[in-house]
Structure 1
């Protein structure tokens, strides 16, 4: 085989080895047997939430094991095809197998990154909040663009997206919005998006067609599951009900069904306005517990704490990523130096490259650009 293909095979083998290491490969069959035994318990579904969590964990382990095996088998099959093609001097077979190995390198690297999502809450569902910042109408419009971007990203992942609350801008866009996004590793992927996002463009609201800069903050919190104990003292909170002021149409409630919970010790305020009052109360309480849990995670992890300190006021000096639409096209993450000129793709939800670069940085302590320069 050519040296280039030998290097490709070495990269795949390295990714698979790291993937197996993260999975604790030797114990994986035993853990699957334990999951299968628990699933056969006739009383399992007496507790639907616990059953669903167990089924999800079992499926994630099965998928990871099958992925590692599949990558290894595909690699071996294509190596055999190359060797066969070389013996028979069939250049077409060789070219197809080499192309398949090149593609497999990318797949293996992606799965290796996914295996790094082993933080305490990485596998959980997540709450995502978007708040417009400096820039007035421009910022509200930018907030709505970001909301659309994240919804598109989640839909491409096959995740479930539920709007929790939304406040419309006075002239355009939104002042704020909160979503619950459900799916495997939803928090693990999205946690890197916490921070201030900066937009530079020709304003559609400026008759002079001048370039404007807008800021919007994004905050991400894991949904707290049954294994995480978060106590909220009733005397520490105030629960208010009010009439929703959504974007109009079906989102405008005619009764005071929206719920706002204020947590006095921390100053945290959470809202929910898209369901009945009873449902909104439950949703807002879960969101509050998630915020409190995130604060606990911040205390435990200096890296996460630093990331959230960077998510301060939505204005100059706090941005984690810049989206420039004029005078040139570029989206650049200021933490990893990962960038792309495909601004349309990014705003349509193509965010995996940015998330992967941040995840790799969190693990290695080096930006992708630094790693490539070595």
Structure 2
């Protein structure tokens, strides 16, 4: 039913755009025949807006992976550097939350570990919405920030790093078998706000999958039972994402020109001082408005990375193909 709904939505959108194209072309012809430049201008502006919508749908049509339509987990970890990198991790958490909200996706905070002075050491959110994993999957990697640190009394420039890991929520149609004897389950007291009960009982749960050394944790609920269930689902999702990555790496083994997107690989730099620039190191896409990017304007970067990942081209080159 989900696949059918998705196909119907796509077909309806294509039919609507086709009708808009025909209508505006006719309006331009009529306006030119009658010498009404206002009608011509309005129709031309409508065609420009239609082209932008078509470009976006062309990119979205690339989201054909078996898990692209799923909800997704986004895990953020601060790098070395203490308070500065922890503040940077918190800025990334806000950035992805803003992006999700702009796309009318629902965001739930699953776990967060606050920094000593400011920011966060780590956090995990789940983004719920159509194609959430498909769009966000290209964000996995290391993000680099260069700025004058507000935590440095001498106002020196600092470089900070934080890691982002994106993996799909596994739905009921995907069967992942886990041998529980290969897992270690630990409970601990949750940190941060949450009332008296959440901070005085061992309600938080951490699961370590020993063969792969994958670690997941959840503290969003007051009930240890609910946190345990969520953590098992997160582990299934991580193992599934790992399998997808292994398959993709095997399929792209001969495509040496493609940049590997994975843990430990720097993908984007955000420079706030001495100049203003955000640059994606995989696609070359740049923005001279870092504040807009940090407020969630990530679509241009995601589209280019997605196009390169699927076809080895840029988003602009995809849009130029008939």
Q: Same fold (TM over 0.5)?
A: yes
Q: Secondary structure at the match of 1:119?
A: coil
1:327-342 aligned within 5 A: 327-342=274-289
Match of 1:269 in 2: 215
Alignment-derived partner of residue 291 in structure 1: 238
Q: What root-mean-square deviation, in Å, do the aligned CA atoms of Structure 1 and Structure 2 show?
A: 2.2
Task: Find the residue that maps to 1:301 and give its secondary structure.
Answer: helix
State yes or no: 1:210 paired with 2:161: no
* SS of equivalent to 1:208: coil
Residue 373 of structure 1: how far off its partner (Å) = 12
| Matches for 1:346-361 after TM superposition, within 5 Å | 346-361=293-308
Q: CA deviation at 1:239?
A: 1.2
Q: Matched residues in 2 for 1:205 and 1:367: separation? A: 38
Give the secondary-structure state (helix, strand or coil) at the position aligned to 2:199: coil
**Uncovered stretches (5+) of structure 2, i.e. residues with no partner:** none
Give yes or no for the alignment of 1:92 onto 2:38: yes
Once the two structures are superposed, the pairs formed by residues 21-32 of structure 1 within 5 Å of their partners are: none
Give the match's secondary structure for 1:209.
coil
**Residue 311 (1) aligns with residue 262 (2):** yes
Q: How many residues align?
A: 315
Q: What is the deviation of 1:253?
A: 2.3
* Equivalent residues in 2 for 1:71-220, closer than 5 Å: 71-220=17-166
Greater relative contact order, per chain length (Cα 8 Å cut-off, separation 6+) = 2
Distance 1:118 1:212 in 2: 40
Once the 2 structures are TM-superposed, how far is the Cα of residue 304 of structure 1 from its aligned partner? 8.1
Match of 1:345 in 2: 292
Aligned counterparts of 1:250 and 1:341: Cα–Cα separation in 2 = 42
Q: Secondary structure at the match of 1:253?
A: helix
The structure with the largest alpha-carbon Rg is 1
User: Structure 1 pair 155/304, CA: closer, same or farther in 2 (3 Å)?
Assistant: farther
Shift of 1:102: 1.1
CA distance in 1, matches of 2:189, 2:278: 38
Asked if the contact 1:82/1:93 (under 8 Å) is kept, the reply is yes
Question: Normalising to structure 2: TM-score of the pair?
Answer: 0.93
* Alpha-carbon distance in 1 for matches of 2:93, 2:320: 34
1:228 aligns with 2:174: yes
**SS state of the match for residue 158, structure 2?**
strand
- Return 5+ residue gaps in structure 1 as ranges: 1-53
Structure 1 counterpart SS, 2:121: strand
- Is 1:67 paired with 2:18? no
Higher helix share: 1
Does the Cα contact within 8 Å between 1:336 and 1:369 map onto a contact in 2?
no
Give the match's secondary structure for 2:200.
Answer: coil
Identify if the C-alpha distance between structure 1 residues 273 and 304 changes in structure 2 by more than 3 Å, giving closer, same or farther: farther
Residue 68 of structure 1, CA deviation: 0.4
Secondary structure of 1:354's aligned partner: helix
Q: Structure 1 residues 66, 373: CA separation in 2 closer, same or farther (over 3 Å shift)? A: closer
